[in-house]
Amino acid sequence: MTTDSMSIKNNYLPPALLAAPGGGGVDGEGGEGDAKSGEEEAGAADESGDGSKKPVILVTNGDGIGSPGLTALVEALVRGGQCDVHVCAPESDKSASGHAVTVRETVAVTSAEFNGATAFEVSGTPADCVSLALSGVLFSWSRPALVISGINKGSNCGCHIFYSGSVAGAREALLCGLPSFAISLNWRKDESQESDFKDAAEVCLPLIYAAIRDIDKGLFPKSCLLSIEIPTSPSTNKGFKLTRQSLWRSSLSWQAVSANRHPSAGQFMSMHQSLGVQLAQLGRDASAAGAARRINAQRKIVEIDSVGAAGKPETQREVVKKYFRLQFLEKQQEELDEELDFRALENGFIAVTSLHLNLHEGSEIQASASEWFASVLTGGESP
């Protein structure tokens, strides 16, 4: 089946996909025993207040726990009532942090408020958040049914997957053997608005529910994560389309900036006296740290002088400090292949791309993902 035949022309998936995960769907291969074994293997079910069990969903992102994209996704999942939602996300914006992890430093974790969900904010990266959440030391479970990273503010098409912190969160789940989604909205500075995240979350729900249902039955494709790219206007999308990863990337532009773009703590305090005692304390702490660094530097100079040749004074080198800022600039692509992720996104489709770790098995993994996606679009199940 070609990619063109694996798109659906209405804005939402078939109504059959809205059935609760694990129930009400079309029976397929893998009977009750398989479903139970999948649930036990993933540790995906959690006890709810009425004694029923719901699959656990872990949500993270790269933009930080206060971002509108994550909030919209969590609220939509909680409102849907079909899963038990847990959040573990960076305390601040970690966009373009890639798959960095925190070592040789302590990571702080603080509880966060999300109605209907258990949430923590972490002083680390998206990969840290997922790794910590799956470790068993933070939550009462260690293997959720599905890990979702998003909704990211900006496209992650093409080579952006290597920079993206949100994709790294989903990739960390894949490294741990868990199915995952990375969801992004193609944000346009002068066109998009925060309400678009709510629409983006709504159009993704049917695909999320279909994945949860088929994960429970052992039908979801293994060894890959799905990158879901939502067009700038989610509510007028042309439907879902399975795509291939392109080599598209933004131009990286480094611009020199003046030192006054980075005011010292003292200058900042003088401009914002109303912030009061907390900033004063920060200034004192910074001064103490600076004094300690100067003392250490002097000690190092003395040590260097002591090993120099007799009678030859050391030449003091001038320290040069410059400031630069990196910007991602969009550039036009001449690639006309309509099956590539960024082309489908530009054409108004929700682009779904399978990403995998083993480059040698790419064709087999792509075929498995294509088969599952085709079954979802037709309302059937994988053979």
- At 294 the pLDDT is 55
The Cβ of residue 348 has, within 10 Å, a number of other Cβ atoms equal to 14
Question: For residue 240, what pLDDT band results from cuts at 50, 70 and 90?
Answer: very high
Residue 9, strand partner residues: none
Helix H segments across the chain? 32-42, 68-80, 126-133, 160-163, 165-175, 195-216, 265-271, 277-306, 341-346, 362-378
Question: For residue 365, what pLDDT band results from cuts at 50, 70 and 90?
Answer: confident
- Alpha carbons 31 and 80: distance in angstroms, whole number: 26
Question: For residue 233, what pLDDT band results from cuts at 50, 70 and 90?
Answer: very high
Whole-model pTM: value is: 0.71
Nearest of 160, 228, 224, 159 to residue 356 by alpha carbon: 224
Question: For residue 313, what pLDDT band results from cuts at 50, 70 and 90?
Answer: low
Q: Is the pLDDT of residue 304 over 90?
A: no
Q: CATH code for 4-249+333-378? A: 3.40.1210.10
- Alpha carbons 87 and 91: distance in angstroms, whole number: 12
Phi-psi region of 192 (alpha: psi -120 to 50; beta: other; left: phi over 0): beta
Residues of CATH 3.40.1210.10 domain(s) within the chain? 4-249+333-378
Mean pLDDT computed over 247-263: 75
Question: For residue 131, what pLDDT band results from cuts at 50, 70 and 90?
Answer: very high
Question: For residue 88, what pLDDT band results from cuts at 50, 70 and 90?
Answer: very high
Question: For residue 52, what pLDDT band results from cuts at 50, 70 and 90?
Answer: low
What's the chain's average pLDDT? 78
Question: For residue 149, what pLDDT band results from cuts at 50, 70 and 90?
Answer: very high
- Alpha carbons 146 and 46: distance in angstroms, whole number: 13
- Alpha carbons 207 and 21: distance in angstroms, whole number: 11
Local structure of residue 99 (DSSP, 8 states): T
